[in-house]
Amino acid sequence: MARIELKGFNKPDEVRTFSKGKVELVNLGDATVGRATFEPGWRWSTCVKPLAKTNSCEAPHFHYQISGTMRIRMDDGTEVECKAGDVAIIPPGHDAWVVGNEPVIGVDFQGMRNYAKEATGQSAQARA
């Protein structure tokens, strides 16, 4: 019989830190949900790319933004700006950065299982 699972970001299962940011992860069943905090000056291509070892972020994201402004540029050149209250589906193949002086805080329901894990011998693509 299925059972209810309840967890919170006040006691995450794992915290990954990287330059100018962190992700707090909770695991529920087969799902991993992450709360990301990106400080002013954070940019995927300078702060996470050295860990992921891919040219752009290859993780798909289903993202709800709580605060701040984040600019997202797809590999094809398409750009959008994501702000507090926005919900976004972001496919693999992008860069992103904090705009302004307010930290970006968001919750991701899809692409966080391997986000910001250092690529070692496994597919680097799965680690973006």
pLDDT for the residue 107: 98
In a domain, 57, yes or no: yes
In a domain, 36, yes or no: yes
In a domain, 4, yes or no: no
pLDDT for the residue 54: 94
Residue 22 predicted with pLDDT over 70:
yes
Question: Among 1-10, 36-45, 111-120, where is mean pLDDT lowest?
Answer: 111-120
Task: Determine the structural domain holding residue 34 and report its residue range.
Answer: 14-121
pLDDT for the residue 128: 57
| CATH number, residue 77 | 2.60.120.10
**Tally of structural domains, the chain:** 1
DSSP letters, the chain, are --------TTS-SEEEEETTEEEEEEEETTEEEEEEEE-TT-BHHHHTHHHH-SSSB---EEEEEEESEEEEEETTS-EEEEETT-EEEE-SSEEEEEESSSPEEEEESSS-TTTTPPP-SS-GGGG-
* Mean pLDDT (whole number) for 96-102: 98
In a domain, 73, yes or no: yes
In a domain, 117, yes or no: yes
% the chain with pLDDT above 70: 93
In a domain, 78, yes or no: yes
